[in-house]
Structure 1
Amino acid sequence: MNILQITTSVRGDASESTRVTNQIVARLVAANPGATVVRRDFGAQPHPLLDGAALGALFTPADQRTAEQLARVQLDDALILEAQAADVIVLGAPMYNFAMPVQLKSWFDAIARAGVTFRYTETGPEGLLKNKKVYVAAARGGVYEEANDPQVPQMRALLNFLGLTDQTFIYSSGMAMGPDAVANGQAAANAAIEKALA
């Protein structure tokens, strides 16, 4: 089993989403002793944002790219290869201002490449990152019902677009609502991990 762990919180060791991703990965490794784990901590080492220079490099034919353009594209290529090789992807997704952090959006921007991880067909887009399991550690300061959650629908849309349709979301809610809410939110997340990975 190849496991790709993506952490995106800027809170370091204090991050609840990172705690949950670590716990999920530990459970997966315990159940699959030969598993390999690739870890990306974009909170500590952010991936470059998609900007005009990056877009220009992507749309320049490979044999015409400058050395700088080639180096920029290769950064995205590495993330794509990791996603393609993974059997399981574990995403840390704290909610910042009702959305995913820019660190996580940058990962999606890097790996979403036409003709590589998705393609357009006569019947619409087709995701090419198929037959993979995705766990999402969704940590948030408040408490949201999924129907009213501003973050999760976009994440589901992006994952589905790429073919990553086998999704399990683990919620840690109430992380900014005081000690009791934190304890309850963490206990709910722990129970959801136990259920998902039983």
Structure 2
Amino acid sequence: MKILHIDSSIMGDASVSRQLSAEIVQQLQQKHGDAAQVQHLDLAVQQIPHLSSEILMGQNAEQSALGEQLLQQYLDADVVVVGAAMYNFGLPSTLKAWIDRISVAGRTFKYTEQGPVGLAGDKKVYIASSRGGVYGDNSPVDYQEGLLKAVFNFTGVSDIDVIRAEGVNMGPDMKAQAMATAQAQIQAI
């Protein structure tokens, strides 16, 4: 089993989403033993330039090679674990840059007369979501989890679990409760 572990928080050791994504990967490794091969992509360390017309049109060989590498990591993965903190109601821009590199017509999706069809299905995705405030499932200002689910669905992946810790900046008691709830979900994997 190939696990692609993606972290996007800029908070280093203080990051809740990094802690949760690491615990998910650890749980998967315990469950699957030596069969679990993990590839870690730290978007705070490996900077992915934001999409430009030069990159989109394949006019930069170095960026084309990076794009192909990122795309192949995604396609090869059986399980994708994404650590995603909510920044200003959305994703870290580095995670959006990664999304732009894996959303490739003819590789992860195609358009048909009936609409788009995802081509990268047959994966499991875990989203380790952290939020300073409390937004719930259907918040009109949540552009984090909804966008991630939409992207994975668009590429054909429908087996998505969100493990969420929210309210982590609303005091130590709220953070402890959020972490306990998320960690109980992880133990159930």
TM-score range, shorter chain: over 0.9
Name the counterpart of 1:4.
4
Aligned counterpart for 1:89 among listed residues 80, 92, 101: 80
* Aligned-pair CA distance for 1:158: 1.1
**Is 2:63 aligned against 1:72?**
yes
Supply the distance in 2 between the matched residues of 1:193 and 1:154 (Cα, whole angstroms).
Answer: 22
Cα deviation code 1:179-198 (max 9, x no counterpart):
11111111111011123x0x
Aligned counterpart for 1:152 among listed residues 141, 145, 149: 145
Name the counterpart of 2:45.
44
Name the counterpart of 1:61.
none
Name the counterpart of 1:62.
none
Name the counterpart of 1:101.
92
AA aligned opposite 1:93: A
Name the counterpart of 2:131.
140
AA aligned opposite 2:184: A
Instruction: Find the residue that maps to 1:33 and give its secondary structure.
Output: helix
Supply the distance in 2 between the matched residues of 1:46 and 1:177 (Cα, whole angstroms).
Answer: 30
**Is 2:45 aligned against 1:54?**
no
Name the counterpart of 2:107.
116
Report if the CA contact (8 A) 1:12-1:44 is conserved: no
Instruction: Find the residue that maps to 1:54 and give its secondary structure.
Output: helix
Cα deviation code 1:37-64 (max 9, x no counterpart):
000000122211111221232xxxxxxx
TM-score, normalised by the number of residues in structure 2: 0.95
**Is 2:30 aligned against 1:30?**
yes
**Is 2:154 aligned against 1:161?**
yes
**Structure 1: unaligned runs, 5 residues or longer:** 58-64
TM-score, normalised by the number of residues in structure 1: 0.91
Report if the CA contact (8 A) 1:17-1:93 is conserved: yes
**Count of equivalent residues:** 186
